[in-house]
Amino acid sequence: MVSRLPAPEFPAGLEWVNVSDAPLMSGLRGRVVLLWFWSYDNVHCWNLLPDLAHLESRYHDGLTVIGVHTPKYPHQRDASVVLKAVNRLQIRHPVANDPQHALWRQFSIEAWPSVVVIDAEGQVVSIIAGEGHRVELDEIVGRLLDEAAERDLREYEAAPTASRPEPREALLFPGKVLATDEFLYIADSGHHRVIECRHDGRIQRQFGSSDPGYWDGRDEQCGFRDPQGLALRDDFLYVADRGNHCIRRIRLRGGDVETVLGTGEQGRVRPHEADPLVTPIGTPTGLAVVADKLHVTSSSQNQVWELDLTRNRVNVLSGTGKRELIDGLSLEASFAQPVGIAAIGMQLLVVDAASSAVRLIRLLDGRVSTLVGSGLYEYGDAPGARDVARLQNPLDITLDPRGIAFIADSYNGKIKALSLKSGAVRALNVDIRLFEPAGLSIAAGALWIANTNVHEIVRIDLASGIGKRVPVGE
């Protein structure tokens, strides 16, 4: 708790990305205000959103939520990319872009995310850092609204929604893509579905109703929420159902969808030989199969998990859980928001978004090493040897048979190629502009890219380097 001091007015230089009329702090008297500071790359900010949505719904008659985006990366300073993130995360309250961290400094914020609670008289009541505080926030907001009502200060009007939506497209913020010699499987994340289509873009099937939810079923009669990573094993397509904090399995022959890991609630446990159906996992994002093991990146737990598909048991493969860049044996090493993952023989390549790094896990002994990257704030856009190469929030990785790893260097809008033999990194010469690419796959002589922020899949011919947009669903 902090002393109740007046909340400062919003600086004149803030860019309001999804409203036409900038709100005034003085105009919010009579309402409780939650001012939350966030950066759209941060998994803990994503995980706070359901709590904010719960509070907005419960206290619609007196609560106003306002987001202040304070970026970590240079790429995020542009208000147009912040609007993309607001739409991708389906935020419906006003959001200001604060690239100079003016409000951050005024409120002495120290971490993403942080929530400033302001009472009906415009006084700062509390600043709460981190996620997982729904109960505490619920109690504070309810009490402050009751106090305002008792003093006849409370305004009961519902807060207006804020929206500058994306244009209607066949895809909406596709996250990951998995290509085979015949099909493309696309995590159409913004539409909360997975689609199966031909290489020419003709859609064959849809899994998921397109409404966010969590229920099993067949084909379109099931619910996903922000599906991401995809992996194939025999007749099964595994899906990292990120928004539901679980792993789903689609039986391709019949279209049945079921849960194989997770409970639908965010996890913070460290499993050992655990039953996967009663073990919660936190924000699973990437998937890779090696033999009878499914490997999962748990982004909010900073770990890589291993699900034994034969014995139906789940363990932590690697990661202490601390958000750090530390090499070593499996349970001594640390990751920083691992997202994409790919298998090469008895090794796994993992991209750490928060440290802009590429990590390698050796399955024979569990040792983790860093191939590219130096730390949580060591990022950039530099080719060269592994000790000087820099990435900016990479989101996926895939491999071709020649031992070249392709990296979705998302915030640089590039695909980087990493030679596993020499360690050298170079930018791939792509003749299509990329906007925060988040998914990669190689099949049929091509690199397939989820060009996320422009809602498309791109095919790059590996022999000629020629790229073209795949007309999915058109």
Whether residue 111 is found in the same domain as residue 194: no
Say if residue 214 is in the same domain as residue 265.
yes
Which residues sit opposite 348 in a β-bridge? Answer: 343, 361
161 found inside a domain: no
Query: What confidence tier does 376 reach under pLDDT thresholds 50, 70, 90?
Result: very high
Rounded CA-CA distance 387/374 in Å is 8
DSSP letter string, 9-56: PPPTT-EESS-SS---GGGGTTSEEEEEEE-TT-HHHHHHHHHHHHHH
What's the CATH code of the domain at 433?
Answer: 2.120.10.30
Q: How far apart are CA 117 and CA 4, in angstroms?
A: 10
Q: What pLDDT sits at residue 168?
A: 94
pLDDT-based confidence at residue 1 (cuts at 50, 70, 90)? very low
Q: How far apart are CA 369 and CA 329, in angstroms?
A: 9
DSSP string over 70-101: --SSGGGGSHHHHHHHHHHTT--S-EEE-TT-
Question: Per the domain annotation, does 156 fall within a domain?
Answer: no
Q: Is 157 domain-assigned? A: no
Give the pLDDT band of residue 349 (cuts 50, 70, 90): very high
What pLDDT was estimated at residue 186? 98
Query: 116 and 203 in one domain?
Result: no
pLDDT band of residue 385 (cuts 50, 70, 90) is very high
User: What is d(CA 190, CA 363) in angstroms, rounded to the nearest whole number?
Assistant: 34
Residue 136 shares a structural domain with residue 236? no
User: Both 257 and 131 in a single domain?
Assistant: no
34-59 average pLDDT score = 98
pLDDT digits (tens, 9 = 90+) for 197-248: 999 999 999 999 999 999 999 999 999 999 999 999 999 999 999 999 999 9
Q: Could you tell me if residue 158 is inside a domain?
A: no
Rg (the chain; Cα; Å): 22
3-state class of 441 per DSSP?
Answer: strand
Among residues 50, 17, 44, the alpha carbon closest in space to that of 111 is found at: 44
In a domain, 389, yes or no: yes
Length of the chain: 474
Mean pLDDT for 328-345 is 97
The answer to the question of residue 169 being in a domain is no
Q: What burial letters (b/e) apply to 14-38, b meaning 16+ CB within 10 Å?
A: bbbbbbeeebebeebebbbbbbbbb
Cis status, amide bond into 113, omega within 30 of 0: yes
Query: Is residue 112 a part of any domain in this protein?
Result: yes
- Domain boundary (109, 131, 150) is at 150
Write the DSSP symbol of residue 390: B
Query: Does some domain include residue 166?
Result: no
- End-to-end Cα, the chain, rounded Å: 54
| Residues 256 and 333 occupy one common structural domain | yes
Cβ-Cβ contacts under 8 Å for 324 (sequence gap 6 or more): 302, 334, 335, 336, 376
- Could you read off the pLDDT of 151-195 as tens digits, one per residue? 999 999 999 889 999 999 999 999 999 999 999 999 999 999 999
Residues 332 and 415 in one domain: yes
285 with 326, same domain: the answer is yes
Q: Find all residues with CB under 8 Å of 30, minimum gap 6, and list them.
A: 62, 120, 148, 153, 154, 155
Are 245 and 321 in a shared domain? yes
**Quick one: tokens of 224?**
């996903």
The pLDDT of residue 401 is 82
62 and 119 assigned to the same domain: yes
How large is the angle between the packed helices 134-150 and 43-58, nearest 10 degrees? 30
Average pLDDT of the chain to the nearest whole number:
96
Are 116 and 38 in contact by the 8 Å Cβ rule? The answer is no
Number of separate domains in the chain: 2
Query: How does pLDDT run across 86-115, given as a tens digit for each residue?
Result: 999 999 999 999 999 999 999 999 999 999
Q: Do 107 and 45 sit in the same domain of this protein?
A: yes
Q: CA 365 to CA 212: how far, in whole Å?
A: 40
Looking at residue 12, what is its pLDDT?
86
And the tokens for 6?
Answer: 């007046």
Residue with tokens 């990366």: 73
Q: Is residue 181 located within the same domain as residue 221? A: yes
Domain at 58, CATH number:
3.40.30.10
C-alpha to C-alpha distance for 217 and 224, rounded to whole angstroms: 11
Q: How many whole angstroms separate alpha carbon 228 and alpha carbon 131?
A: 22
Q: What is the pLDDT, as a whole number, of residue 3?
A: 60
Q: Which domain, by its residues, includes 41?
A: 5-150
- Reported as a single tens digit per residue, the pLDDT across 239-268 is 999 999 999 999 999 999 999 999 999 999
Under 8 Å CB-to-CB from 446, ≥6 apart: which residues? 179, 459, 460, 461, 462
**pLDDT tens for residues 391-429?**
999 999 999 988 899 999 999 999 999 999 999 999 999
Q: How far apart are CA 355 and CA 373, in angstroms?
A: 7
Tokens for 130?
Answer: 């981190």
